[in-house]
């Protein structure tokens, strides 16, 4: 980790000059971000033809049910495979953020829901442990995760799969030289998807993966403004929020 002596030290006048130049770049970045948001909203809507079913705390629910009376739905594809004992620590950090502000979304006609393949009993127990209140459903009995590019069987990976709109570049060795489509041991990835409910029809409007999810992970936005940044080269410090040393 850099020390103060490793960094350029300047006068207040030099800082102001450099900060003004950076401000110009930040303003351009903001304007570009506004334009990208408009382009996202102009993407064509794709009608959802499948009758996806999920397991919720009160029983089976449909994709329209996840809107909870609202016209828009944001889904966090939360990495939690059926065989895992805990949810993904990175996804957990993302959830720490929207667990707090989802109330504001809900009062602006936007529902927020996490979807994972782990059984609902595991999701409910982990949600209780983390102290979260957002809706969370299990897609274990449906193709939802596979259709939206966040889960892959070994067979899919071995014979060509696509992630983030391009082929996955990954080497997979299958057991005994064979193939398996066992969904329990499928590979997991993270993503966000958006849907709209219009005249009784659900449409898929947007999905993002990999670095596209950075802007939705609140912690990174704060670290990007800290003096030493993300320090992503060493992630050994990172924990689920209940696993940090007390104090």
Give this prediction's pTM: 0.86
Q: Is 152 exposed, middle or buried (0-12, 13-18, 19+ CB in 10 A)?
A: buried
- Both 95 and 20 in one domain: the answer is no
Count of domains in the chain?
A: 2
Q: What is the pLDDT of residues 210-238, one digit of tens each?
A: 888 888 888 888 888 888 888 777 777 78
Percent of the chain with pLDDT over 70: 89
61-67, long-range: CB < 8 A, 24+ apart: 61/137, 63/195, 63/202, 64/197, 64/202, 66/111, 66/113, 66/135, 66/137, 67/111, 67/195, 67/197, 67/202
- Both 21 and 82 in one domain: the answer is no
- Both 87 and 195 in one domain: the answer is yes
- Pick the range with the lowest mean pLDDT from 91-105, 154-168, 215-229: 154-168
Question: What per-residue confidence (pLDDT) applies to 177?
Answer: 42
In a domain, 247, yes or no: no
> What is the domain range of residue 29?
11-40
- Within 8 A by CB and 6+ apart from 52, the residues are 62, 63, 139, 142, 143, 144
- Both 162 and 131 in one domain: the answer is yes
For the chain, the average pLDDT equals: 87
């Amino acid at each position: 980790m850099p020390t103060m002596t490793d960094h350029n030290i300047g006068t207040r006048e030099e800082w102001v000059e450099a900060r003004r130049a950076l401000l110009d770049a930040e303003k351009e970045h903001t304007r570009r971000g506004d334009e990208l948001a408009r382009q996202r909203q102009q993407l064509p809507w794709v009608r959802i033809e499948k009758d996806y079913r999920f397991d919720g705390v009160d029983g089976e629910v449909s994709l329209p049910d996840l809107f909870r009376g609202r016209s828009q739905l944001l889904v966090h594809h939360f990495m939690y495979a059926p065989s895992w004992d805990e949810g993904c620590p990175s996804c957990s950090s993302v959830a720490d953020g929207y667990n707090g502000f989802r109330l504001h979304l809900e009062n602006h006609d936007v529902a927020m829901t996490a979807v994972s393949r782990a059984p609902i009993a595991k999701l409910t127990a982990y949600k209780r442990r983390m102290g979260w209140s957002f809706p969370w459903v299990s897609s274990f009995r449906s193709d939802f995760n596979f259709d939206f590019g966040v889960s892959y069987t070994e067979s899919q990976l071995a014979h060509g799969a696509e992630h983030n709109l391009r082929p996955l570049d990954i080497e997979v060795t299958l057991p005994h030289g064979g193939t398996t489509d066992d969904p329990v041991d499928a590979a997991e990835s993270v993503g966000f998807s958006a849907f709209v409910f219009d005249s009784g029809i659900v449409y898929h409007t947007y999905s993002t993966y990999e670095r596209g999810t950075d802007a939705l992970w609140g912690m990174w936005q704060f670290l990007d403004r800290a003096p030493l940044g993300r320090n992503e080269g060493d992630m050994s410090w990172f924990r689920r929020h209940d696993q940090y040393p007390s104090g």
